[in-house]
Every structure is written in C-alpha cells, then in structure tokens.
Amino acid sequence: MRKPKAVHLVLLSAGILVAAAVAWSVLGRPTEAGAPGSGGRDRTPLVEVREARMGDIVLTLERSGEVVATESVVIAATKEGPINYGPWREGDEVGAGDRLVEIDREVHRAEAETARAALSVARARLADLRAGARREEIEKARAGVKRWEATLQEARETYRRQMDLIAGDFTSRQSVDQARERMEVAEAELASARQSLAMLEAGPTATEVAVQEAAVEEASARLTQAEAHLAECIVRAPFDGRITAVHVRPGDLAVPRNPLVEMFDPASLVVRFNVPEAHAAAVRPGLRVEVTLDALPGRRYAGEVVRAYPRLDQATRTRTVEARLEGVGAELMPHQFARLKLELDAVEDAVLVPPEAVLQTPEGEDVVFLVEDGKAARRRVEIGVEQRTGVQILSGVRPGAEVITRGHEGLRDGAPVRLAGEEGAGRGEGREDGR
C-alpha cells in the first residue's frame, strides 16, 4: 500500500521542478532590448547630453553694499557769538566758498581795523627810511654847520683877546674862563652839526632799515591774526555740495565745537562693499560692476572699482572696496542699499559645459561623463571659472564632445546608454526623469 504513494510523491516533485525551470527560462532570463518576451522594456540608462562649446565666461561675485559719500562733513563753530546769517535748509545746493553761517563779533572787526592802521604807519616809516633825507633837510643841516663854524671862530677870537688882556692884567680870570667855555661849546655844537649833516647825506644805515622792516612784518602778522579771528566768524562751504542737516538758525548762540551744518558732495557718492578674503587679492581698480538699488527696482547701473582698501578687516576677514557708478543723477543718495555683481575675471574662448554635467567623487575629484560610441566615458576634469550658466573646463574635455547632463547619477564608466530624444526612447516609462 505505501509503495504506490511514494511513487506518486516523486512524480509530483519532478513536475514542480520542471514547471519552475520553464518559468525561469521565460521570465527570469535577461532578454535583449526589444526581443520577444521583453515586454518592450529597455533597462539601458536613458541620458541627456549637451555639446561642450567654446565661449567667453566671466567670474562674478555677488555682494551687497551701501551708497556712501566720500566727501561728507559736519561743520562746527570755532567762535562763540550770536548768529546773524544762516538762510540754508536741508536739500539746498551750495558752491565751494559760499557763506553758510555768520557769527556776529564786533570786537574782531575792531582788532582788524587797528592792525590795518598800524601796518600802514610802519610801511610809511620804512618808505621814508629807504627814500633818505629830503634836500631841504640837508640844506638846513649845512646852514647849521656854517652857523656854528662862524660862532666858533668868533668864540676863539674872543678867547684870544681875553688871554692878551689877562697878560696885561686888564681883565679878570672869570672873563677868560667864560670866553673859553663859549669856545668849547661852539666846538661841540659844530661837531654835532657836522655829524648830523654827514648822516643826512649818507642816508639811513642798514640796521635802521632792518629794524623798520621787522616792525612792518610784526604789524603785518598782527593784521593776519586779527583777520583770521574775523574769518572764523564766517563759515563757508568747503566744496560744492548739498545740505543734509542744519542745526542752527539766525538768533541762536554759536558754541565752539557744536555742529552748525552738515553737507556732502553728490559727485563723491560711491558704492562701498566688502569682498571675502578668498577673493581679496583679485580685486583692483578698474574691475567692472553691475549694481541694482532696492530703492530703484528694475534699474541697473554699470560702474567700476575705483578704490580697494590696502588691508583686511581683522574681525570680518574682508576687504573694503568702493565702486563709482555711471549715468546716475539725483536719485542716488547716501545710505541706499545696493546689490552688486563684481566681475573678477573674464576668460575668452573657454571650453564650457553646463554646471549640471560636473560631478564630484567621494575623493573630491571633478568628473564628467561623455557619450562615445553609445557608451558612457568617465573623464576627470580640471575646473576653471564656475558660473550658473556654465563651467570652464581647463582639461579633460574637448570642444564638441557630448557631455551627459542628466541620468549620470550612478553611471559606470563604459556602461551602454541611450540618448533622450532618439527613436523609441519615449515608449513606456523608459525616461528616468518621468517626462
């Protein structure tokens, strides 16, 4: 009874094994693309490609900054006194040298007038010295010499007569002494008159002229000082500009070091921004920038770098840069927020590929996949300038090569690939991106 049952079980097991083998041969064995029994599905990766091209690429750096005026001043008072002039208001345009504020100080005006008069007197005396004595003065001195010569001659004769008389005891000793005294006085007066005449004829000495010249310089310095004090009472614009703040009005009291007026020069407006340390060395005057202002949406301004500060900020590790804009007018104001694109470098005739074509390996290598003879070819590349619109390839790819931009994730070197858009590529769900 058991033997027929065992045979039946063996036959049943053999039948199951045969059925499994048939099913594996039909369903489990790989099939060629499009072969009968494949159901129309192709497991070859579907990829998209773009051609590597030659073109120009610019390395740009996007930053934010602020509009600032490099010529901006807060003008303060240096004198104390009531203000009697100050008609300006915020937004007024002024020119260099225009009177902004005047402080009333009568004492400084009086000092200047006194110093001016003293200088005139000193100059007149110097002119007299340099001109020398007048002819009338010299003639008068000569007449005085002649008068004293005659007086001396008469005094000598009188003295001789008195000496003759005293010898005969016909006069007194007192009369002789008086005659001698008159003679000596006449001699002294004659010597003085002759000296005066010589001085007049010779003119002033170099010392006298030098002393008077020093007096003129001293008087001039006193006048300069007085005028300087007076000038400090009139505050003038240091350059062409626009008034931004007025702190005083006529009738107010000016106090030294207190602000009077604030102004800036619109021509000095620049966009100031910071560049990270990694790009700091590449920044130099002349680089081009493109600027947009949040206050003026939709408008773009071109400009160039005019100044790069010679050091990095120690706290932020950035370099301060200033750029001047072109074609701007009154719409540009201090403290406006600006967005910039700084052109750091430009490369002509570069090999360019789309950014999505470049992959980075776990080892940090940059690679791309090319399509060669229907297969993926992995190439290690050297990257140059990178932009959102393209990446410069320094080595590894030639112009015209078909570079895979989609479907290369997990792709192996030498693997067969299908190109999107080829005949039959769109049947079923063969596109990996589902489109």
> Per-residue pLDDT tens for 210-233?
999 999 999 999 999 999 998 889
Domain boundaries, the chain: 46-56+349-419, 61-70+265-348, 75-104+233-264, 113-228
> Per-residue pLDDT tens for 63-93?
999 999 999 999 999 989 999 999 999 999 9
More reliable by pLDDT, 271 or 110: 271
Q: Is the pLDDT of residue 347 over 70?
A: yes
CATH superfamily of 61-70+265-348: Efflux pump adaptor protein, beta barrel domain (2.40.30.170)
> Per-residue pLDDT tens for 294-337?
999 989 999 999 999 999 999 999 999 999 999 888 889 999 99
C-alpha pair distances (Å), 316 with each of 75, 274, 373, 420 = 32, 9, 52, 48
For position 199, what pLDDT does the model report?
75
- In terms of Cα–Cα distance, which of 273, 265, 288 is closest to 334? 265
Q: Is the pLDDT of residue 31 over 60?
A: no
Q: Is the pLDDT of residue 237 over 60?
A: yes
Distance of CA 338 to the CA centre of its chain: 18
C-alpha pair distances (Å), 329 with each of 68, 79, 306, 325, 332 = 14, 37, 19, 10, 6
Q: Is the pLDDT of residue 277 over 80?
A: yes
C-alpha pair distances (Å), 139 with each of 94, 134, 319, 322 = 65, 9, 85, 80
Q: Is the pLDDT of residue 265 over 70?
A: yes
For position 247, what pLDDT does the model report?
95
Average pLDDT over residues 382-391: 88
For position 28, what pLDDT does the model report?
40
For position 32, what pLDDT does the model report?
40
Q: Does domain 46-56+349-419 have CATH number 2.40.420.20?
A: yes
Q: Is 272 helix (H, G, I), strand (E, B) or coil?
A: strand
Angle between helices 106-131 and 206-231 (to 10 degrees): 160
Band of residue 43 on the pLDDT scale cut at 50, 70, 90: confident
C-alpha pair distances (Å), 251 with each of 77, 79, 82, 84, 230 = 15, 15, 6, 6, 19
> Per-residue pLDDT tens for 129-188?
887 767 787 788 889 999 999 999 999 999 898 888 888 778 888 888 999 999 999 999
Residue 299 structure tokens: 């408008």
Answer for the pair 58, 387: CB distance below 8 angstroms, yes or no: yes
Average pLDDT over residues 366-382: 93
For position 422, what pLDDT does the model report?
63
Residue with tokens 């080829």: 422
For position 42, what pLDDT does the model report?
63
For position 142, what pLDDT does the model report?
87
Q: Is the pLDDT of residue 2 over 60?
A: no
Range with the poorest average pLDDT among 5-9, 73-77, 245-249, 403-407: 5-9
The reply to whether domains 61-70+265-348 and 75-104+233-264 share a CATH topology is: no
Band of residue 105 on the pLDDT scale cut at 50, 70, 90: confident
Band of residue 432 on the pLDDT scale cut at 50, 70, 90: very low
Question: For 45, which DSSP code?
Answer: P
Question: For 410, which DSSP code?
Answer: T
pLDDT above 70 coverage of the chain, percent: 87
For position 41, what pLDDT does the model report?
57
Q: Is the pLDDT of residue 429 over 50?
A: no
pLDDT above 90 coverage of the chain, percent: 60
Q: What is the mean pLDDT of the chain?
A: 85
For position 122, what pLDDT does the model report?
93
Q: Does domain 75-104+233-264 have CATH number 2.40.50.100?
A: yes
For position 39, what pLDDT does the model report?
45
Q: Is the pLDDT of residue 5 over 60?
A: no
Distance, in Å, from the CA atom of 108 to the CA atom of 115, rounded to the nearest integer, reads: 11
